[in-house]
Amino acid sequence: MLLLDEKCHGYYIHGKSVHSTADTDMEELNNCLKKETNDLVPRRGLADTNQQIFEVFLNLEFRKLFDQIQSNTQPDTTRTLQMMQRLSSQTLPLLESNKNEKITVWKQMQKFLKTFLDSNLKEYSFNIKQKTFIEKIAGAIPDTSKGPVFMNDQNGIIYCLLYGLETHLMVFYISLYTALDYWTNPVLAGFTIWAVDKLLCGLRIWLGEKNIAIKGHLDSKYLLG
């Protein structure tokens, strides 16, 4: 899962299974775990590592290509056009390409990201780096001139979710309650905090589902709340 919170910044969760099936019985599951313990299967992480959660820094060239695929527009360079034609030939037949644009774009994006993350895209490659102490403290941005950079970060992704904002929300609610209690009364202040909390949660769910439906090229009926 690739989650972008800014134009050239985001987070990536690899989450790729190293086994052939996910739905199996206990005996087969135990055998699969034994294979992992004995290093008889590839490691679960990206690029045969044990790292699965990354902070991602993209360059403008990659982001431009990403947006072109997302919007289903014609690439503006010969190299990019040739790459897109090669990927298109591996996804949907030409006769099917105009039947459902949303499915076509989804297939194209899926193939592009899979090929890119498997390091099979010769036009674009990425680098995996470990964060230095200074980068962790100062939040320094790595050099992306040679391609996107993936940096191991197990906790940063929570700041993209409502789940990771409990402290901020608590401070906001306490500040709001204090102000309302000073100007009105405790009952009205408490009711207002409850209403604001419900509004923020509902708005977050609605905007989140809408964003997933648009960016993931999914019909909203497939998103079960």
Q: pLDDT value at position 97?
A: 45
Inform me whether the pLDDT recorded for 148 exceeds 70: yes
Q: pLDDT value at position 157?
A: 77
pLDDT digits (tens, 9 = 90+) for 17-67: 777 776 777 888 788 888 878 877 777 778 777 788 888 999 988 888 888
Q: DSSP secondary-structure letter at 53?
A: E
User: 213 and 104 in one domain?
Assistant: no
CA 4 to chain centre: 6
Phi, psi of 12 (to 5 degrees): -130, 130
- Percent share of the chain, pLDDT over 90: 15
User: 117 and 206 in one domain?
Assistant: no
Global confidence as pTM: 0.70
User: 105 and 143 in one domain?
Assistant: yes
pLDDT digits (tens, 9 = 90+) for 109-145: 888 888 888 888 777 888 888 887 777 787 788 888 8
Comparing 93 with 8, the larger pLDDT belongs to 8
**Domains: count for the chain:** 2
User: 63 and 11 in one domain?
Assistant: yes
Which residues form the domain of 115?
A: 2-156
Q: How far apart are CA 126 and CA 57, in angstroms?
A: 10
